[in-house]
Amino acid sequence: MQKCLLLLLIIVIPVVSFAQANYKSGIVITLQGDTLKGYINYKEWINNPKEVDYKPSLTESAQTFTPKNIKSFAIAGLESYEAFEVSVSMDNLNANGIREIEDTLNVTNSFFLKALLKGDKVHVYSYKDKIKERYYFLENDNTNPVELRNQVFLTTSNVVTPVFKQQLSALAIKYKNFPLSQQIASLAYNKTDLLNTLKQLNTVNAAVVAYNREKKPKARFFLGTGLAYNTITYSGENLFTIDRKNANGFDKYKDKVISQSYQPRFAGGIDIFINPEVKRTILRGEILVTPLQSEVVSYLQYNSVSDREQRNTYNLSMVIVSAMPQVIYNLYNKENFQFYLGTGAAYSYYRTNQNILNRIPTDDPDNPDAIIEDYVIIKKRGLNVVLRSGIVLKKKIDLGIVYFNPTEITNYTSAKGSSVKANNLQLSLNYLFN
């Protein structure tokens, strides 16, 4: 097992070192208004980017731009960002969206705002960081966007209308869209509601920023099979490890006994893409079914002056059903080939089919001393750490290696230090339903 993991590391380390960027066709608008056509490193931006890498061509070195030194950038058919100096609220709201003090914490700086809507009167942008997502509006007669504040201040007498609704109502009055005022009262602070409302303030050329591209699915399902190399390690002073007598006439024990077996694996689940356009980071939910079998044989010598001994044969057969949440990251991420690493956990249920110890005298095998069922107490549940690596071919075939760390599967404690641990290394073959 250790040799297999070492081989995996030898393969992985060079690939990690040369993990490629994800350059897409795009443009950059400089502070002077010039348009730079080339390629932009399109990352899985969960939050708004603080900087962006640009190449005039794929063979040239990258330049890094920030909101301080460009006006905007856009990835063709994907996303568009504009640089503004704006005030950003940094407060967290309570569970009811209420802020109990009137003072707000704000930071003013230059940021990349994501363009959501363009109109003849009002544009809409968003800005998200680790604290929260905010929405901004920019009137055509102004130069800097204003944050729509999702805040409600408690007064001594009552709760006033949320700030963003007051802001929207003021815009509706300014642009003489009086029917819109009635809709604003029931608005929620989310992208859909805000865009639908602000779009109505515009009269011509109002359009949600969208691109002529095929909408890519946010998830995919998979089914698979494969081969599991299972090992069970027995340790401690017990009937699994006993090894006759030593020279002094005392029971002798092996440090550990390991049984090995190969069994099929069956799996299915769903992959959810953090960004369907990039498909670099994947949240995987997987159900795995794996049989497990083990047989160990030991010999108990009756006494040191006789060759009479007892042959102990222990048979264990079980089925493991595991729920496995995982995070997978494509280190190499091309259209028809990906190389990935992943980690997660396996929450397992153990169904025991056989758990029998046969104690048979070697000189009289037809008269066993005992046949003991449920010789050890197998746990009902277990928890493993999961590591995986693999490749995806032609967006359909997922071939990987999955490693489960050793975990105790029994409550066997009849002797000090006794332990029964199972772990396995699996070869997985999944078919992806894209």
DSSP 237-265: SSTTTEEEE-TTSSEEE-SEEEEEEEEEE
Residue spans of the chain under pLDDT 70:
1-20, 93-104, 153-160, 204-214, 368-369, 412-417
CA dihedral 190, 191, 195, 197 (to 10 degrees): -10
Q: How distant, in Å, are the alpha carbons of 121, 262, 291, 355 from that of 228?
A: 63, 6, 9, 21
Instruction: Quote the CA–CA distance of 376 and 363 in Å, as a whole number.
Output: 27
3-state secondary structure of 385: strand
Give the residue extent of every domain in the chain. Answer: 77-208, 219-433
Judge contact between 310 and 360, C-beta under 8 A: yes
Question: What's the predicted TM-score (pTM) here?
Answer: 0.78
Instruction: Identify the CA nearest to 230 among candidates 23, 48, 9, 427.
Output: 427
Bridge partners for 301 per DSSP: 309
pLDDT at 212: 45
Instruction: Quote the CA–CA distance of 74 and 72 in Å, as a whole number.
Output: 7
Q: Which two three-digit tokens encode residue 204?
A: 């011509």
pLDDT at 41: 95
Q: Which two three-digit tokens encode residue 425?
A: 């290394």
Judge contact between 138 and 125, C-beta under 8 A: yes
Bridge partners for 393 per DSSP: 337, 397
What angle, 0 to 180 degrees and rounded to 10, lies between the N-to-C axes of helices 163-174 and 191-199? 20
CATH class of the structural domain 219-433: mainly beta
pLDDT at 153: 65
